[in-house]
Amino acid sequence: MSRESLFRCPVCASQLYVNEKTFSCRKGHAFDISASGYVNLLTAGGKHSRFPGDDKEMARARRDFLSGGYYSPLAGALSEIARTYAADGSVFLDAGCGEGYYTSAVCGALSRAGRTFRAAGFDISKFTLKYAPKRAPDAEFAVASSYRIPMGDARADILLNCFSPLALSEFRRVLKPGGAFLYVVPAREHLYEMKEILYEHPYENEEKKTPYEGFKYEDIVPVKSVLSLDDPADIENLFKMTPYFWKTPRAGRERLSDLSSLRVTAAFNIHIFKKEA
């Protein structure tokens, strides 16, 4: 017995259907469900490398850090916002979902609120995505690119983008008119104490309110907490989650690796938009 998927075929753009082992369309294109529970819908043309996105080491670091609950204030805030905007029967899409940490939080909140809903998430990294089906077993997960989302037009009621590429044209396409777009960006103080260790001249993040064509601003919700990292493994995992992992000089890396503990600010801004009709 097959059921209709939230995803569409990346080859012919027709509806996909899910059975026990595959996602397939009526034109005969089929995609195997991995042992972890996700499906790979990233075509060769959508890849810029053999294994795009986070590698195994970074995926493991992100999973372990988030499992420690350090970013639970952000997950809680996103859950509350999603619950505000979700009516019964809503479709929730997590764009660049990673290991499904925020997907799981939102799905849990909607379930506890008694809402009926469907959920899906995608990420370009198969290594990080393999953890997602265990976190949110009722959602569908696919390897895919934000710049070519395998979903039909006007299908999603709520779209979350948390530290992932801002593919505005695709987000407008897949969101229904009036649908909510939740865009998470780092706030001014985010991880500043870590940057003081890594760099000779640390900087604060720029904060700005940027309007986007086809979207109406609803609100900006700040989320801030101070993390006490008392395990060097947690410090290293947080570092591997950030862009600084790729561009920090050796001296900064060595100073960070010498730490046995770190108090660091986690600060985010959730920009809330509605798609215009």
Q: Residue 275, Cα to own-chain centre: how many angstroms?
A: 19
| CATH T-level assignment (fold) for domain 48-275 | Rossmann fold (3.40.50)
**Model pLDDT, residue 48:** 53
User: Which positions of the chain have pLDDT values less than 50?
Assistant: 49
Give the residue extent of every domain in the chain.
Answer: 1-33, 48-275
**Model pLDDT, residue 1:** 75
Q: What are the tens digits of pLDDT across the range 169-197?
A: 999 999 999 999 999 999 999 999 999 99
**Model pLDDT, residue 171:** 98
pTM of the model: 0.94
**Model pLDDT, residue 50:** 56
**Model pLDDT, residue 216:** 97
Query: Taking a C-beta distance cutoff of 8 angstroms, is the pair 99, 127 a contact?
Result: no
